[in-house]
Amino acid sequence: MRDDILELIEQSRYADARNELIKLNAVDIAQVLEEVHQQNVLIMFRILPKEIAATAFSYMSYDQQRYIIESITDKEIEIIIDELFLDDTIDFLEEMPANVVKKVLKNTDDKTRKLINQFLNYPEDSAGSIMTIEYVDLKREMTVRQAIDHIKKTGIDKETINTCYVMDQSRKLEGVISIRKLILSDDDVLIGDIMDKDVIYINTSDDQEKIAMLFKKYDFISMPVVDKERRLVGIITVDDVVDIIDQENTEDFQRMAAMQPSEEEYLKTSVLELAKNRIPWLLILMISATFTGNIIRKYEEALQSVVILASFIPMLMDTGGNAGAQSSTLVIRGIALGEIKLNDLGKILWKEFRVSVIVGLILAIVNFLRIYFLEKVAFNISIVVSISIFATVILAKIVGGSLPIIAKKLKLDPAIMASPLITTIVDAVALMIYFAAATSILGL
Amino acid sequence: MRDDILELIEQSRYADARNELIKLNAVDIAQVLEEVHQQNVLIMFRILPKEIAATAFSYMSYDQQRYIIESITDKEIEIIIDELFLDDTIDFLEEMPANVVKKVLKNTDDKTRKLINQFLNYPEDSAGSIMTIEYVDLKREMTVRQAIDHIKKTGIDKETINTCYVMDQSRKLEGVISIRKLILSDDDVLIGDIMDKDVIYINTSDDQEKIAMLFKKYDFISMPVVDKERRLVGIITVDDVVDIIDQENTEDFQRMAAMQPSEEEYLKTSVLELAKNRIPWLLILMISATFTGNIIRKYEEALQSVVILASFIPMLMDTGGNAGAQSSTLVIRGIALGEIKLNDLGKILWKEFRVSVIVGLILAIVNFLRIYFLEKVAFNISIVVSISIFATVILAKIVGGSLPIIAKKLKLDPAIMASPLITTIVDAVALMIYFAAATSILGL
């Protein structure tokens, strides 16, 4: 299907291509145009019906959007912006260079320009910057029939009609009603009598993390956004929430791997940008490792007399780091999903302690069997290594389980208390335990 | 509000509590009942209107659901199951012990019991196990007016009426139409003429990862599920997809921290279960570290003559591990989001190589300045350590960037190629580089 269309376009059979293209979902139209020669993109974009062109535009890559805006006339820009939902306009303007933004703003009417400027001013990732204004507004005095007539008249330009919002004269939010309830109710019933008054709403300043939590908790497909006076100013729809969830997770993955979070796709991020995001934490962690170096230097003599001790350092450090990272990952994730609260610290410590005793014992026993019987390491050294593993696992899991909660209490992002930082801390702890055990048991 | 209701219940003013409770969202009702004494849960559950009770039931914790099912009569069970959407019934039955499942199945009619058994038999995480059957079905010969009448008659029991599905006599899916389009169209238009024929659908056997990808790509709020003959068998709604996305991400977080993935909440997972999920990878990684131990033992003499070399081992290993984990995390995440494809391996290697040269150079220079000027380490040893850092970062980033793709090519989960495994591999590489540099430069 899509290959056929590409062929039609290449043969310059644009009208035929158009007729096939409009049968597709706008997402797929955008994807087809992504694969077409630039000169043909413009031709095809122009002969598509304007509402389809606008929807497809909102699904295009930023590069393609930019190319189109830079190539089309002022009049065409006006039509596209007019057809776009405001949240899609904001999304794309946020990624465009200043000259493109200027060209767009120049070609929108006063009201829209004011709105765009207002939305661009909301803090990034706040409800204000995510919401859109194309919602259905009803009054409580309307009958169901009047409400449905109102929707018929205005619904075409709304992002969703599945939930309608009931406001008073001063635009204060009074209730919500689903299209389902409207359709299933009798024509003469008043909206005020059947609307849901227990409205769960978002404030313009709410962070996207909180928004995602609310959507997940209530299984909504859209939610109203209100200002400080509880006046309705916009709505957020679930498709944006899905993007938010992905973005929040990506940020956590990046922070947990000691990087500055970035919203850009890996393959589209420049080498310099990637390096810039990675260097700070690597430097901090590298310099922190001075500490472990100093511990080893302190026990230089012990090492010199029993050099084999050095050969277990990597295993001990890695095991401690991994054990701690397991605990911290579960706690970080639990906090992110709202399953773990700040006052659960006691429960977590007790749980991690019990888990770590089991895990530590098994690792210590397996290690002892392996190095004493298979590698023929001396008995007392095998004992030193195994005791160190046991104690390291316990400490690693307690450190790993508690630091994310402590970070959250200090209003830091728990995700920074992940593998890299935990590993650096646990390394030092593991070495201290190891050398303490070695000097006392081996009498060094 | 909620505290008021709790007080009413404690004062045994059940009717008053009920009147307040029904004003709330079902999610909040479930939460209030979670905080109430067990004897009162049953009382409140029984005096709630049955459709509200059933919806609230679907949001309760598994423990609460189990308690209720074990306590209420057979007749009451029948009513609850009758009110529940099939996907919610399946969700909760999957978590119940055999005796509860038996009690529920005993009290459902033949048709529902057959359906439940069929749904419980779909592979876990497949579309079949997630979908529900309460959708609106239309025929292409219907007029818009007939369709809306049909919805009015049957819509009350449907999970969503926002998208309606058009089928032929043999239940083959022919098109979809949104409630919005129905409302905005004239009464006498035929459904067949306005429905969307480019239907994007899911197969019963499709995995939840694929389902989430489709929802994200098209911004749908529901999608049809068809069998091998393209007959409509169910629908999946976006609220389930939000749960899927969280679950898939949690699995990735757990795998990337060297754990067996588990769907259970941390605080609700038993100590033994937690230990069981953590031990296998810790054991595997601990034993793999034998390899690094052997490398150190091979260079025992070098270490004995220049003991200070040992003190840089932790820093070198950690830096390599962190650098590799950064790369692998970005690639794993890119694969999960569909941004990185299998044939991008070349691009990734080239990108990681350039990034690693920049990162490696900066780390090596900072390290040299620090240990030579601040810690007064000998010049040639400072050079050995810095060269090792540079080479380790490059190799770590290439290993970290390519292994997730290679895992994917081998049909393994890319998420296992995360920090722990990369660290173990990079440790060995780092030590080999370090000792090679040391022996040649220091002439050991």
The residue type of B224 is P
CATH class of residue range A2-121: mainly alpha
Confidence of residue A245 (pLDDT cuts 50, 70, 90): very high
User: B329 and A246 in contact by Cβ < 8 A?
Assistant: no
Confidence of residue A4 (pLDDT cuts 50, 70, 90): confident
Q: How many CB pairs under 8 A join A and B?
A: 354
Burial zone of A49 (CB within 10 Å; 0-12 exposed, 13-18 middle, 19+ buried):
exposed
Q: What is the pLDDT of residue B300?
A: 87
B443 - beta bridge partners? Answer: none
The minimal CB distance from A363 to the residues B152, B162, B282 is found for B282
Confidence of residue A3 (pLDDT cuts 50, 70, 90): confident
State yes or no: pLDDT of A1 exceeds 80: no
Q: What is the pLDDT of residue B336?
A: 92
| Alpha carbon separation from B346 to A141, B356, B391, B393 (Å, rounded) | 64, 15, 20, 19
Q: In chain A, which among 202-221 make CB contacts under 8 A with chain B?
A: 215-219, 221
Residue A377 phi, psi dihedral angles, 5° rounding: -75, 150
The minimal CB distance from A219 to the residues B239, B287, B313 is found for B239
Rounded to an integer, what is the distance from CA B179 to the centroid of its chain? 31
State yes or no: pLDDT of A158 exceeds 90: no
Question: What pLDDT, in 10s, does the model give residues A111-157?
Answer: 888 888 888 889 888 999 899 989 999 999 999 999 999 998 888 88
Measured in Å, how far apart are chain B's first and last C-alpha atoms? 77
- Does an H or E element contain B170, and which? none
- Residue ranges of domains in chain B: 2-121, 136-236, 289-442
ipTM of the complex: 0.85
Rounded to an integer, what is the distance from CA B102 to the centroid of its chain? 29
pLDDT mean across residues, chain A: 92
Question: What pLDDT, in 10s, does the model give residues B53-92?
Answer: 999 999 999 889 999 999 999 999 998 888 888 888 988 8
Contact B29, B56 (CB under 8 A): yes
- Residue B106 to chain A, least CA–CA distance (Å): 30
Neighboring chain A residues of B275 at a CB cutoff of 8 Å = 355, 358-359, 362
- Residue A97 to chain B, least CA–CA distance (Å): 23
Neighboring chain B residues of A328 at a CB cutoff of 8 Å = 257
Confidence of residue A359 (pLDDT cuts 50, 70, 90): very high
Q: Measured between CB atoms, does A284 come within 8 Å of chain B?
A: no
Q: Name residue, tokens 């292994």.
A: B403
Q: Measured between CB atoms, does A305 come within 8 Å of chain B?
A: no
State yes or no: pLDDT of A211 exceeds 80: yes
Task: Find the residue in A nearest to B180 (Cα).
Answer: A161
- Mean pLDDT, to the nearest integer, of A274-300? 91
The minimal CB distance from A326 to the residues B257, B328, B424 is found for B257
| Alpha carbon separation from B152 to A181, A400, B42, B147, B396 (Å, rounded) | 10, 56, 33, 9, 63
Q: Of B158, B180, B157, B159, nearest to B240 (Cα)?
A: B159
Neighboring chain A residues of B314 at a CB cutoff of 8 Å = 289, 292-293, 296, 313, 317, 427, 431
Neighboring chain A residues of B181 at a CB cutoff of 8 Å = none
User: A355 and B275 in contact by Cβ < 8 A?
Assistant: yes
Q: Reduce the DSSP state of residue A221 to 3 states and report it.
A: coil
CB atoms within 10 A of CB A217: 15
What is the spatial distance between Cα A259 and Cα B355, in angstroms, rounded to a whole number?
Answer: 13
At a CB cut-off of 8 Å and minimum separation 6, what does B124 contact? Answer: none
Question: What pLDDT, in 10s, does the model give residues B276-295?
Answer: 999 999 999 999 888 898 89
At a CB cut-off of 8 Å and minimum separation 6, what does B32 contact? Answer: B2, B5, B6, B21, B24
- Residue B20 to chain A, least CA–CA distance (Å): 11
Chain B interface mutation, best of A211, A236, A238, highest count of B Cβ atoms under 10 Å = A238
Question: What pLDDT, in 10s, does the model give residues A373-416?
Answer: 998 999 999 999 999 999 999 999 999 999 999 999 999 999 98
State yes or no: pLDDT of A444 exceeds 80: no
Q: What is the pLDDT of residue B124?
A: 85
Contact B293, B411 (CB under 8 A): no
Chain B interface mutation, best of A196, A267, A294, A369, highest count of B Cβ atoms under 10 Å = A267
User: A241 and B242 in contact by Cβ < 8 A?
Assistant: yes
Question: What pLDDT, in 10s, does the model give residues A167-189?
Answer: 999 999 999 999 999 999 999 99
User: A322 and B358 in contact by Cβ < 8 A?
Assistant: no
Neighboring chain A residues of B282 at a CB cutoff of 8 Å = 319, 322-323, 326, 359, 363, 393
The DSSP call for residue A157 is: G
Contact A292, A431 (CB under 8 A): yes
Q: Name residue, tokens 């509402």.
A: A51
At a CB cut-off of 8 Å and minimum separation 6, what does B51 contact? Answer: B83
Burial zone of A305 (CB within 10 Å; 0-12 exposed, 13-18 middle, 19+ buried):
exposed
Residue A227 phi, psi dihedral angles, 5° rounding: -90, -170
User: A180 and B294 in contact by Cβ < 8 A?
Assistant: no
Contact A241, A219 (CB under 8 A): no
What is the spatial distance between Cα B389 and Cα B386, in angstroms, rounded to a whole number?
Answer: 5
Task: Find the residue in B nearest to A311 (Cα).
Answer: B293
Reported for B28-37, long-range contacts at CB under 8 A and 24+ positions apart, including other chains, are B28/B2, B29/B56, B29/B59, B30/B56, B30/B57, B30/B59, B30/B60, B30/B64, B31/B2, B31/B59, B32/B2, B32/B5, B32/B6, B33/B60, B33/B64, B34/B60, B34/B61, B34/B64, B35/B6, B36/B6, B36/B9, B37/B10
Q: Measured between CB atoms, does B424 come within 8 Å of chain A?
A: yes
Task: Find the residue in A nearest to B297 (Cα).
Answer: A311
User: Of the CATH numbers 3.40.50.2300, 3.90.1150.200, 3.10.580.10, 3.40.140.10, which one belongs to the domain with range A136-235?
Assistant: 3.10.580.10
Neighboring chain A residues of B344 at a CB cutoff of 8 Å = 267
Q: What is the pLDDT of residue A119?
A: 87
- Mean pLDDT, to the nearest integer, of A45-69? 91
Contact B330, B444 (CB under 8 A): no
* Superfamily grouping for domain B136-236: CBS-domain (3.10.580.10)
Q: Name residue, tokens 């190799």.
A: B395
Rounded to 10 deg, the angle between the A50-58 and A86-93 helix axes is: 50
pTM, to two decimals: 0.86
Per-residue DSSP letters for B261-320? ---S-GGGS-HHHHHHHHHHHHHHHHHHTHHHHHHHHHTHHHHHHSGGGGGGHHHHHHHH
Confidence of residue A250 (pLDDT cuts 50, 70, 90): very high
User: B344 and A289 in contact by Cβ < 8 A?
Assistant: no
Beta strands A202-203 and A173-178, pairing class: unpaired
Q: Measured between CB atoms, does A87 come within 8 Å of chain B?
A: no
Q: In chain A, which among 144-163 make CB contacts under 8 A with chain B?
A: 148, 151-152, 155-156, 160-162
State yes or no: pLDDT of A2 exceeds 80: no
Burial zone of B43 (CB within 10 Å; 0-12 exposed, 13-18 middle, 19+ buried):
middle
Fold entry, domain B289-442: Tetracycline Repressor; domain 2 (1.10.357)
pLDDT tens, residue order, chain B (444 aa): 678 888 888 888 999 999 999 989 999 999 999 888 888 899 999 989 988 999 999 999 988 999 999 999 999 999 888 888 888 898 888 888 888 888 888 888 888 888 888 888 898 889 998 999 889 999 999 999 999 999 988 888 888 889 999 999 999 999 999 999 999 999 999 999 999 998 999 999 999 999 999 999 999 999 999 999 899 999 999 999 999 999 999 999 999 999 999 888 899 899 999 999 999 999 999 998 888 988 999 998 888 888 889 999 999 999 999 999 999 999 999 999 989 999 999 999 999 999 999 999 999 999 999 999 998 999 999 999 999 999 999 999 999 999 999 999 999 999 989 989 999 999 999 999 999 999 999 887
Chain A interface mutation, best of B185, B200, B219, highest count of A Cβ atoms under 10 Å = B219
